[in-house]
Amino acid sequence: MAFDIDMIKGVYANMAKRVDEARNIVGKPLTLSEKILYSHLWDGTPSKAFTRGKDYVDFAPDRIACQDATAQMALLQFMQAGKPKVAVPTTVHCDHLIQAKSGATADLKSANTTSAEVFDFLESVSNKYGIGFWKPGAGIIHQVVLENYAFPGGMMIGTDSHTVNAGGLGMVAIGVGGADAVDVMAGMAWELKFPKLIGVKLTGTISGWTAPKDVILKVAEILTVKGGTGAIVEYFGSGAKSLSCTGKGTICNMGAEIGATTSTFGYDESMERYLRATDRADIADAANQVKEHLTADPEVYANPEQYFDEVIEINLSELTPLLNGPFTPDLSTKVGSDMTEKATSHEWPLAVEWGLIGSCTNSSYEDLSRASSIAQQAIDKGIKMKAELGINPGSEQVRYTAARDGILGIFEKLDAKIFTNACGPCIGQWARYSDPKNAPKNSIVHSFNRNFAKRADGNPNTHAFVASPEITAAIAISGRLDFNPMTDKLINEKGEEVMFDEPTGWELPPKGFEVEDAGYLAPDADGSGVSVKVATDSERLQLLEPFTPIKDESLTGAKLLIKAFGKCTTDHISMAGPWLRFRGHLDNISNNCLIGAVNAFGHKTNMVKNQLTGEFGGVPDTARAYKAAGVRSIVVGDHNYGEGSSREHAAMEPRHLGVAAVIVKSFARIHETNLKKQGMLGLTFANESDYDLIQEDDTFNFIDIAEFAPDKQLTVEVVHADGSKDVIKVNHTYNAAQIGWYREGSALNVIKRENAS
């Protein structure tokens, strides 16, 4: 599991030089975020000062992390690249595919049976290509990364939106789609729009019942779920230094909930303590040598308004515990009587049925120890537990250490369920109900990050509120959503009035971390002899075949598959939910292709005309019929087509089903890039109103596709059922290299050829 200290020392050696160069080019003092970004440029030395929120820049990340749900398609694609090993240190973490039901032992056993083929595939493919593999039960990706791989000043990408958690250890860590991760694994650059910068100045210190979680709950209240979009949030100030490293991780983790590209903190003593406690003293020593580069230049924090695009100030001494929710993480309410009022007026159930502590957001030793101090008081003061309690430790190292120190035993005395060190209830993997859709209205409180409807248990009537672990414990014990542990009394089993004292805990385990089997499997030094395990009859996994180039002649006589009406997000193109099961099987998951898109003709979903037969049917079936007949198909769409997630399935599925081109009014940029990477045409109407010309029985002839070139419009002849024609112009943003991807069938085909030559 070892991190590569030489690689990290190399990053620091470069940093010293590149930060100076960047400062000269930018012509002013630099924020920490800029130092990390400029020292990770793909081309090394910066060519110019990049414009925030505008310029697209190529970066060279230091690490990649993938979780089990997203790693499947990413690694199936990587196998296509023809590389013997990943170009950048990479790890795979099995944490999403484990259900929480009976408790860790039984649940892990069950997951190891039901998802055996997926885990076996991920283990074998990791072993073959030099990827570190964390077994089911080893922990949640972001906690494991923080404990083992994150380092101050580093840049990483991960195929999960909460990759941003590693900002707690001073990284710029960003969640990406699988296709982006594959590029970096294959040795290519990673492109990102140079982010805007939001500075959050923290003054004062947290104390009593207030926790780092309340900082991000407050930031979410201020910025809302969209306020961080396209920006890095950089925390600084004396208050920032007073927070523990894992507390900083919690704050950065939930930066995803405000839409931020990522969040980060400057290197400080809390990070040094955490590095030394997690057996990485050599990183702490190396970081100490370059301390000045691992935080902003002093002028920046002295006059933040001059250097950040937006500045927020929060006095931690005045911050009080918050409960955010339900159904959105930015709806803040102060713990206590404010909640009585709000819950009553909105008819949120005041009785709390469950408290859940853990997830990648709040599952550190400190989190568990502080929550357990409340649980211990309930035992000592004879307070009967009113709600049920569930705990998901973040990693086997945290679980083992917390068990050794009696922390888990305290929860167990309150009949808490200790679930697997995995995502569990945070991602709907909670077998709480047999029929969640018809389950009753109820409230739960958890220390996770997301609380959208159905997220935890599949019940649309579950009102989930987000709070710190200590507040979650207190509310679960009291059983009331509006319980204020700072002022309210509870009646104990003897009928006496009792109150909780303030929570206490340890930032780090006093006796140090310990673990017997962390759950890590190092890859073979030479994986060339390892065979990747995929059963030929598997319904969940399928080895990919390289996409064949779309021939110019096949673009004469192409048929309209669907003209999507209105919003068409990646969820409309490739739904999630039950389809998650097929994320590693392109042919099976293609049966959800565009089934959520509204057909402009008839305004129904998944109902389109097959022009070859005149019959109406589902989109995937119709696409398959065209493909079987050797006829290419075309998708037409409206504005911002493909917005939403960066999942590459939304491009791979139509490509697999024979779609040659997607012509829209405008694209969400990541989806447009994904189409290019899969060797398809992603085009926009030169005249948006030409969208209205497209009719249900249209045939498309790409008249000048043979002259496809950068900055040159293409001409498409649209032939209608009555034989009349419209000749329209379409725009594209392909550069020469991307046209090469199209001509060779996909970006991966190009990498493979280059690798072979």
| Spatial separation of the C-alpha atoms in residues 590 and 185, rounded to whole Å | 25
647: annotated active-site residue: yes
Interface segment toward ligand F3S; rule CB under 6 A; list 124-132, 285-293, 420-428, 665-673: 420-428
449 is a contact residue toward ligand F3S (CB under 6 A): yes
Q: State which of residues 18, 162, 432, 463 lies at the interface with ligand F3S (CB under 6 A).
A: 162
CB of 483 to ligand F3S, least distance (A): 25
Residue located via tokens 């309209």: 560
| Backbone angle region of 494, left / alpha / beta, with phi > 0 → left and psi within -120 to 50 → alpha | alpha
The C-alpha atoms of residue 121 and residue 532 are separated, in whole angstroms, by 6
Verify binding: residue 147, ligand F3S, rule CB under 6 A.
no
Catalytic residue among 18, 446, 647, 671: 647
Per-residue b or e along 690-724, where b marks 16 or more CB atoms closer than 10 Å to that residue's CB = bbeebbbebbbbbeebeebeeeeebebebbeeeee
Told to judge if 4 belongs to the known catalytic residues of this protein, a careful annotator would answer no
Comparing CA positions, the residue from 131, 46, 57, 40 lying closest to residue 94 is 131
Binding region for ligand F3S (CB under 6 A) out of 138-146, 306-314, 378-386, 411-419: 138-146
- Name the catalytic one among 62, 68, 160, 690: 160
The smaller minimum CB distance to ligand F3S, of residues 339 and 427, is found at 427
163/622 with CB nearer ligand F3S: 163
**Cβ distance to ligand F3S smaller for residue 426 or 625:** 426
Q: State yes or no: residue 244 binds ligand F3S (CB under 6 A).
A: no
CB nearer to ligand F3S: give 164 or 286: 164
Q: What backbone phi and psi angles, to 5 degrees, belong to 358? A: 140, -140
- Characterise 610 by phi-psi region: left (phi > 0), alpha (psi -120 to 50), beta (else): beta
Question: Is the Cβ of residue 138 or residue 360 nearer to ligand F3S in the bound state?
Answer: 360
Residue 345 CB, nearest distance to ligand F3S (Å)? 30
Which of 69, 730 has the CB closer to ligand F3S? 69
How many CB atoms neighbour CB 277 within 10 A? Answer: 18
Q: Mask of contacts with ligand F3S, 552-581, x by CB under 6 A?
A: ------------------------------
Terminal alpha carbon distance of the chain: 33
Single residue of 160, 257, 353, 638 touching ligand F3S by CB under 6 A: 160
Does residue 317 carry a catalytic annotation? no
Structure tokens at 133: 């593999």
Which region, judged by CB under 6 A, interacts with ligand F3S, from 23-31, 136-144, 469-477, 559-567? 136-144
Binding segment (CB under 6 A) for ligand F3S, from list 140-148, 183-191, 499-507, 608-616? 140-148
Query: Which tokens in the block code for residue 611?
Result: 């022009």
DSSP code of residue 101: S
- Among 427, 636, 652, 751, the residue binding ligand F3S under the rule CB under 6 A is 427
- What are the respective helix, strand and coil percentages of the chain, to the nearest 5? 40, 20, 40
State which residue, 181 or 683, has the beta carbon closest to ligand F3S.
181
Q: Among the candidate windows 134-142, 373-381, 523-531, 733-741, which touches ligand F3S by CB under 6 A?
A: 134-142
Around Cβ 398, how many Cβ atoms within 10 Å? 29
Collect all residues with Cβ–Cβ distance below 8 Å to 497 and sequence separation of at least 6: 489, 490, 491
Q: How far is the CB of 361 from ligand F3S (least distance, A)?
A: 7
Out of 68, 95, 180, 367, the active site residue is 95
Whose tokens are 């490739």? That residue is 574
- Phi, psi at residue 310, to the nearest 5°? -155, 145
* Part in contact with ligand F3S (CB under 6 A); list of ranges 139-147, 210-218, 461-469, 649-657: 139-147
Which residues make beta-bridge pairs with 198?
A: 233, 310
Shortest spacing between CB 252 and ligand F3S, in angstroms: 12
**Of these residues, 18, 96, 455, 671, which one is catalytic?**
96
Residue 258 in contact with ligand F3S, rule: CB under 6 A? no
Sign of CA dihedral 366, 371, 373, 379: negative
Annotated catalytic residue: which of 450, 455, 540, 572?
450
Q: What residues numbered 356-385 form the site for ligand F3S, per CB under 6 A?
A: 359-360
Residue 96: active-site member: yes
Q: Does residue 141 belong to the site contacting ligand F3S (CB under 6 A)?
A: yes
Q: How far is the CB of 441 from ligand F3S (least distance, A)?
A: 24
User: Which amino acid appears at position 532 of this protein?
Assistant: V
Within residues 89-128, the interface with ligand F3S by CB under 6 A covers 95-96
What is the rounded CA–CA span in Å between residue 735 and residue 708? 10
Residue 93 Cβ, how far from ligand F3S at the closest point, in Å? 9
Using the minimum distance from each CB to ligand F3S, give the nearer residue, 253 or 699.
Answer: 253
Question: Minimal distance in Å, beta carbon 167 to ligand F3S?
Answer: 14
CB of 423 to ligand F3S, least distance (A): 3
Q: 161, 369, 645, 746: which one is catalytic?
A: 645
Listing DSSP states for 236-291 in one string gives ESHHHHTS-HHHHHHHHHGGGGGTBSEEEE---HHHHHHHHHTT-HHHHHHHHHTG
Which helix (DSSP H) or strand (DSSP E) does residue 304 occupy? Answer: helix 304-307
Is residue 163 at the binding interface for ligand F3S, with CB under 6 A as the rule? no
Closest contact distance (angstroms) between CB of 360 and ligand F3S is 3
The beta strand positions in 564-624, using DSSP E, are 608-609, 616-617
| CA nearest neighbour of 30 among 284, 226, 308 | 308
How many chain residues interact with ligand F3S (CB under 6 A)? Answer: 13
Task: Establish how many alpha carbons lie within 13 A of residue 496's alpha carbon, considering only the half-sphere containing its beta carbon.
Answer: 8
The residues carrying an active-site annotation are 95-96, 160, 450, 645, 647
By the criterion CB under 6 A, which residues form the site for ligand F3S? 95-96, 140-142, 160, 162, 359-360, 423, 426-427, 449
